[in-house]
Structure 1
Amino acid sequence: MRLRFFDLTPPTPAELIPPGMSAPKTGGNDAFLEFLEGTVKPEVERRVAVDRTRQTLFGHSLGGLFALHVLFSRPDAFQTYIAADPSIWWNGRSILNEMQQFLRDPSSGEGSRLLIETSGKRAQRPGADAATIAKIETLRSGPNGHDVHDASRQVGSCLATASSPTKATAA
């Protein structure tokens, strides 16, 4: 569990780690991407036929944050990116800076597709008691009180209306 923080996040100063969380090791997202590109993909291609023009990266939560990072830093790594409930709030929303840099290059992400999925108010599921609803609403707000689903919609909207040729959809 703790390794996922290292593999999926940028370097994060201690003051930006959510309150109550023991400081996990962070900052391995680029090394993890290199592992995927340099080791995992070639090994999969060695074992099975792969269409390199139809590859998708899916991630949820911190994995969704990682998917956005890959799109913004190496848009040619995959053709489709799916970020489910991405943790945009992580590291003071530094992923938004990556997005702005990505949008500065009009050819970035040409032909790439992005789906940002937000699950909405999961507390409305049948059988959720008051304590569960309160916990989910706290998590949903992120550690700094930001609505994580609104942030995801803002990223999707920004990418969809930008001059970048990436096709973005927020669901």
Structure 2
Amino acid sequence: MPLLQATPPSRRWRSGNSPPAVFPLFDTPPASHELSHFDVSAAGFTYRLFLAHPRGEAPAQGWPSLWMLDGNAAFSRLDAALLEAHPGLAVVGIGYPVEEAFDGASRARDYTPVPLEAPMHGRGRDWDFGGEAAFRARLLGPLAQALTERAPLDPARRSLWGHSYGGVFALATLLSEPSAFRAYMPVSATTGFGGRSLFAMEAEAPRLADGRAEVLIMLGDSEHRSGTPAPEAPRPNPDTLEMGALLARRSDLHVQVEVLEGLGHGATFAASLPRCFALAEG
């Protein structure tokens, strides 16, 4: 059983040199949802889970839910208006017990597949990669159990959203355990990670036995690596477009690829939310 550690309502957590993440949603909560956050320890790792679940009586099978990776960053950017526009959708943030919006080392470890080549990201940092399978076991096991103890969530109507490395994890889960979620929403995924490890996974990916999963791939046309010049002309990530084309060939998936014009890597995070919330609720 996971160890549940309730945390008092707070707007920010302080522990390092970076500015703390601020959570205005907890200052101005929506009329449509109840908010909470709590820590869960699983297999030697601790996660901070954020939960916004609809008020009122749940459907017989539970609420549909949108699970958002980088939960600290996600819940620092949500506002009451977005939740109130989707009163029948539960929203989950899977984060870490830090005060910053992102925990770089933990997300590198948890969200990435085993690299075929040394990753470009994380050089010069004490980061481990390749733990997505172990993290998925924690996510679908003790973390999911802790969430369902707090709110009735329909396991057949849950969706997975991830940005950047989180998008890598969303794709890796689709390619490893496609029945885990009803819909997958990789946004600005680092699709060429580790010598194109995701493409090696795609070549041997299992298919759904029943039904079809929704796949919404979103990316900007002006994304580039930090420290490099912006592209002279709009250029969506060719690796991501190639992955979208490969997935679209599968009869068990309904794939949509949306290019967000004029947006760079960071801007796609918030820009993706209205579209993804609508798909998750539907």
- Between 1 and 2, higher relative CO (CA 8 Å, sep ≥ 6) is seen in 1
- Interval containing the TM-score (normalised by the shorter chain): 0.7 to 0.9
In the other structure, the counterpart of 2:186 is 83
Q: CA deviation at 1:108?
A: 5.8
In the other structure, the counterpart of 1:118 is 219
Counterpart contact for 2:159–2:182, Cα < 8 Å: yes
Q: CA deviation at 1:106?
A: 5.1
User: 1: distance between equivalents of 2:156 and 2:194?
Assistant: 32
Q: CA deviation at 1:47?
A: 0.9
RMSD of the alignment, in Å? 2.7
Residues 62 and 96 of structure 1, relative CA distance in 2, 3 Å threshold? same
Does residue 135 in structure 1 map to residue 228 in structure 2? yes
Counterpart contact for 1:87–1:148, Cα < 8 Å: no
Structure showing greater radius of gyration is 2
Counterpart contact for 1:107–1:164, Cα < 8 Å: no
What secondary structure is seen at the aligned counterpart in 2 of 1:36?
A: helix
1:37-87 per-residue CA deviation (whole Å, 9 max, x = no partner) reads 111111111111111221011111111011000001001111100000111
2:124 pairs, out of 12, 17, 22, with 22
Q: CA deviation at 1:133?
A: 9.4
Structure with greater helix share of residues: 1
User: Under a length normalisation based on structure 2, what TM-score does the superposition of the two structures give?
Assistant: 0.48
Number of positions where the alignment pairs a residue of Structure 1 with one of Structure 2? 151
Gap runs ≥5 in structure 2: 1-103, 259-282
User: 2: distance between equivalents of 1:87 and 1:106?
Assistant: 23
User: 1: distance between equivalents of 2:163 and 2:170?
Assistant: 9
